[in-house]
């Protein structure tokens, strides 16, 4: 790598008005990337975490008074910088409608605001809410917040603005140039940037002055990460400076990041799947060997975080993660770039006495793809008046929608004009090819629709259809009497 490449990137950041903290963080990540291109964490160097306290076990040790006291001193921080480009979105992902509530389309953002307002009312707490927006999500997000007549917050800012950094050419280490769309020359530094952003913004001092001791951080696309007095109470009771909520893996979670015990440092650390050598993937994805995954629901004591930031001059030295993409995500022929990112949960290794807590599955309901959105919009869920995404057992069917026709949200919505079919009785759903669905369609068992590419009318619309396993009801998995 050339020194000139880093210098050019720094010059671009200064011209863009990036702070010294942002530039220092980028410089740290760039040097780390230069010195260790692999970034791998080998299985032989770690030990799996298998026995952890669960919220179900510890709830009986927390009094209602202590739980309420902890929540009364907690602030809620939502990471809201993502655009959902993998689903074809160009605005904040949190503005995507999730489902109807009393006839009204509810977006992620509406549900988050509803959860906070409902908790404030029920618990009698202030519960400040802050969004970490990016330069692309700030305007639209603030517009929605201002229009919500139920949500009020005056003394504490509702936004801190995430940093941004240049995308780096994979071959040369120089900042990429893309005149066709200069915005695509920039990227966020990953959610690990939350700590530098908190340091830069000065909001930690503001929160402390308001009597806030604890910060609960989660992703805006995880509607299960609701305010919880029980979890807040347990965190306060432990006296730990840092806590991560983890959940027990199913086969659907094998790609999720995991916390492991580092044999070299003697600390807990986060290992993302991108940091696992290929030779170790089988062991790393074995859910018996590594039974827990990272929900990215983080609790941190503000005084401990301020002390740690002061120790490292405002920049936590987190492991860098290489995210290799093309400069234009929609154009596979555009130049290959590296986005230098860090993960929020990786900070666990910096705080002595950090802990993990096993939580129930309802606290992890993310939407990363249209497959996830399909479940969220289905009859598996009910959105309660307190804005809880409620399901019977949270053991969801495996969904596979043909990415050629359902990956992008516009294509997805066009093919489900009456809403997604019923999956209450489905074990799995596989849709191959281009199908458009009518009203009141129901999926049963291992529902499977084969690609109708040789059908004279491949784009099919029918109401009240029953879709099951093709082996039981015909070559295309359709109940013949109803389709």
State the span(s) of the chain assigned CATH 3.90.550.10: 3-363
Average pLDDT over residues 50-58: 92
Average pLDDT over residues 184-202: 94
CATH annotation of 3-363: 3.90.550.10
Which of 165, 168, 189, 185 is CA-nearest to residue 177? Answer: 185
For residue 344, pLDDT over 60 is answered with yes
Q: Report residue 37's pLDDT band, with 50, 70 and 90 as the boundaries.
A: low
Q: Report residue 457's pLDDT band, with 50, 70 and 90 as the boundaries.
A: low
Q: Is 88 annotated as a binding residue?
A: no
Q: Is 162 annotated as a binding residue?
A: yes
Exposed/middle/buried for residue 477 (C-beta within 10 Å: 0-12, 13-18, 19+): buried
Average pLDDT over residues 12-35: 92
pLDDT tens per residue across span 396-412: 889 999 999 999 999 99
Lowest mean pLDDT among 144-153, 217-226, 313-322: 313-322
Q: What is the pLDDT of residue 364?
A: 94
pLDDT tens per residue across span 359-391: 999 999 999 999 999 999 999 999 999 999 999
Percent of the chain, pLDDT > 70?
94
Average pLDDT over residues 79-85: 88
Q: What is the pLDDT of residue 479?
A: 43
Which of 452, 443, 397 is CA-nearest to residue 420? Answer: 443
For residue 458, pLDDT over 70 is answered with no
Alpha carbons 295 and 248: distance in angstroms, whole number:
10
b or e along 100-109 (b: 16 or more beta carbons within 10 Å of the residue's beta carbon)? ebeeeebbbb
User: Strand 258-262 relative to strand 336-341: parallel, antiparallel, unpaired?
Assistant: unpaired
- Phi and psi at residue 90, to the nearest 5°: -120, 0
Q: How far is CA 134 from the centre of its chain?
A: 15
Average pLDDT over residues 23-31: 94
Q: What is the pLDDT of residue 464?
A: 78
Q: What is the pLDDT of residue 461?
A: 59
Q: Is 368 annotated as a binding residue?
A: yes
Q: CA angle, 243 as apex, 152 and 298 as ends, to 5°?
A: 40
Q: What is the pLDDT of residue 481?
A: 35
Q: Report residue 473's pLDDT band, with 50, 70 and 90 as the boundaries.
A: very low
Q: What is the pLDDT of residue 477?
A: 43
Average pLDDT over residues 119-128: 97
Q: What is the pLDDT of residue 394?
A: 86
Please check whether residue 43 is in contact with residue 283, taking contact to mean a CB–CB distance below 8 angstroms: yes
The residue behind tokens 């959610």 is 191
For residue 38, pLDDT over 60 is answered with no
Q: Is 395 annotated as a binding residue?
A: no
Q: What is the pLDDT of residue 455?
A: 61
Q: What is the pLDDT of residue 10?
A: 96
pTM for the structure as a whole: 0.92
Q: What is the pLDDT of residue 476?
A: 45
DSSP result, 248-295: E--GGGTTS-EEEEETTT-SEEEE-GGGS-GGGHHHHT-TTTS-EEEE
Average pLDDT over residues 86-101: 90
Active site (catalytic) residues: 368
Average pLDDT over residues 416-441: 93
pLDDT tens per residue across span 261-289: 999 888 899 998 888 999 999 999 999 99
Architecture of domain 370-473: 3 Solenoid (2.160)
Average pLDDT over residues 43-55: 93
Q: Report the run of H or E that residue 93 belongs to, with start and end.
A: none
State the span(s) of the chain assigned CATH 2.160.10.10: 370-473
Please check whether residue 291 is in contact with residue 249, taking contact to mean a CB–CB distance below 8 angstroms: yes
For residue 463, pLDDT over 60 is answered with yes
For residue 1, pLDDT over 90 is answered with no
Q: Is 191 annotated as a binding residue?
A: yes
Average pLDDT over residues 99-110: 93
Average pLDDT over residues 295-316: 96
For residue 39, pLDDT over 80 is answered with no
For residue 81, pLDDT over 60 is answered with yes
* Summary mean pLDDT of the chain: 90
Q: What is the pLDDT of residue 97?
A: 95
Alpha carbons 113 and 150: distance in angstroms, whole number:
8
For residue 151, pLDDT over 70 is answered with yes
Q: What is the pLDDT of residue 377?
A: 96
Tokens standing for residue 206: 């503001």
For residue 482, pLDDT over 50 is answered with no
Average pLDDT over residues 138-145: 96
Q: Is 221 annotated as a binding residue?
A: yes
């Amino acid at each position: 790598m050339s020194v000139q490449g880093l210098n050019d990137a720094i010059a671009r950041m200064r011209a863009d008005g990036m702070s010294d903290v942002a530039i220092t963080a980028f410089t740290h990540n760039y040097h780390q990337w230069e010195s260790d291109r692999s970034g791998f964490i080998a299985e032989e160097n770690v030990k799996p975490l298998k026995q952890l306290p669960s919220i179900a076990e510890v709830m009986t040790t927390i009094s209602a008074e202590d739980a309420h006291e902890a929540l009364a001193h907690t602030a809620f921080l939502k990471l809201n910088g993502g655009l959902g480009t993998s689903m074809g979105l160009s605005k904040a992902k949190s503005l995507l409608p999730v489902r109807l509530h009393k006839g009204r389309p509810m977006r992620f953002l509406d549900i988050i605001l509803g959860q906070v307002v409902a908790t404030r009312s029920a618990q009698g707490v202030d519960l400040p809410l802050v969004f970490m927006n990016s330069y692309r999500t700030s305007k639209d997000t603030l517009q929605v917040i201002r229009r919500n007549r139920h949500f009020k917050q005056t003394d504490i800012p509702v936004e801190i603005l995430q940093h941004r950094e240049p995308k780096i050419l994979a071959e040369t280490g120089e900042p990429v140039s893309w005149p066709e769309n200069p915005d695509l020359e920039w990227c966020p530094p990953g959610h690990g940037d939350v700590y530098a952003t908190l340091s830069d913004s000065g909001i930690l001092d503001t929160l402390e002055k308001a009597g806030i001791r604890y910060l609960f951080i989660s992703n805006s696309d995880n509607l299960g990460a609701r305010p919880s007095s029980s979890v807040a109470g347990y965190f306060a009771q432990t006296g730990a400076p840092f806590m991560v909520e983890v959940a027990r893996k199913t086969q659907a979670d094998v790609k999720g990041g995991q916390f492991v015990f580092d044999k070299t440092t003697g600390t807990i650390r986060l290992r993302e799947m991108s940091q696992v050598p290929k030779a170790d993937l089988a062991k790393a994805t074995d859910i018996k060997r590594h039974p827990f995954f990272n929900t990215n629901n983080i609790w941190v004591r503000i005084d401990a975080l301020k002390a740690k930031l002061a120790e490292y001059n405002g920049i936590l030295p987190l492991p860098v993660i290489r995210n290799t993409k093309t400069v234009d995500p929609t154009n596979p022929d555009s130049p290959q770039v590296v986005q230098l990112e860090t993960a929020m949960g990786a900070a666990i290794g910096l705080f002595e006495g950090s802990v993990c807590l096993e939580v129930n599955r309802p606290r992890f309901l993310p939407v990363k793809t249209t497959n996830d959105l399909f479940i969220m919009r289905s009859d598996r869920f009910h959105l309660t008046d307190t804005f809880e995404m409620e399901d019977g057992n949270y053991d969801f069917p495996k969904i596979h929608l043909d990415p050629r026709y359902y990956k992008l949200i516009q294509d997805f919505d066009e093919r489900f004009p009456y809403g997604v079919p019923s999956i209450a009785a489905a074990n799995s759903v596989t849709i191959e090819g281009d199908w458009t669905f009518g009203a009141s369609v129901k999926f049963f068992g291992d529902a499977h629709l084969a690609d109708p590419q040789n059908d004279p009318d491949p784009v099919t619309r029918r109401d009240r259809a029953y879709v099951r396993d093709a082996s039981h009801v015909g070559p295309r998995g359709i109940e013949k009497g109803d389709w």
